[in-house]
Amino acid sequence: MTKLSVNINKIATLRNARGGDRPNVVQTAKDCERFGAEGITVHPRPDERHIRYRDVYDLQEIVTTEFNIEGNPTPDFLKLVKEVRPEQATLVPDAPDAITSNAGWDTIKHKDFLTDVIGELKELGIRTSIFVDPIEQMVEGAAAVNTDRIELYTEAYASGYHQNREEAIAPYLQAALKAQEYNLGLNAGHDLDLDNLKYLHGTLPNLMEVSIGHALICDALYFGLENTIQLYLRQLK
């Protein structure tokens, strides 16, 4: 069964816009788990414009499902991950000024770097995942650096879904089959929502986890957080 990991970055964005501690990031994570989420995802960035490094340490104390920390493996990020030791670290090649993640790794060009980082994390018992575009060569490159999983960057799928969903999903299916060939676990994330999630889930084999934040938090403004999480879980059954 595909797990739903809720990315709570947008909760921190709302908090930071006003200052203070409303909404409370830790309480939101507890509520997400109580409402059925099977994981909590955070993506701290160097400027701490949403999730702060302090938040990550606080969340370490209370997350009882799977804690997934995403980010560019800079020295500061790696220090954080090694100290917190989440169940999963997802390596994302985002620039410091990126509004949101916008590309996957070139796993061939960065083979040596990724191999070293993944080796360090796996020695600590941290499952690793690499953010990649749906390109078969990049999946093969991910297998070569000994990662446990890949996370498919699904923005292109989401953008093309309403025009031609079969065409939009095609490269993702090929990438998923290639991951299966190399015994790589498969995650997916970015711009997934209540419209496009069910088809993705029903098409990709062995999809282990989806990480969803922006759309889910937006939907929660209308449907409420508990109901929204249940709606997303329903798409994964």
- Classify residue 17 by burial, with Cβ atoms within 10 Å: 0-12, 13-18, 19+: exposed
Q: Give pLDDT tens digits along the chain (237 positions).
A: 899 999 999 999 999 999 999 999 999 999 999 999 999 999 999 999 999 999 999 999 999 999 999 999 999 999 999 999 999 999 999 866 655 556 899 999 999 999 999 999 999 999 999 999 999 999 999 999 999 999 999 999 999 999 999 999 999 999 999 999 999 999 999 999 999 999 999 999 999 999 999 999 999 999 999 999 999 999 998
Query: Known catalytic residues?
Result: 43, 70, 190
- What residue segments make up the domains of the chain, in order of their start? 3-235
Q: Which of 148, 153, 144, 140 minimizes the C-alpha distance to 190?
A: 153
Query: What does pTM read for this prediction?
Result: 0.95
CA angle 72, 99, 4 (to 5 degrees): 70
Topology of domain 3-235, CATH: TIM Barrel (3.20.20)
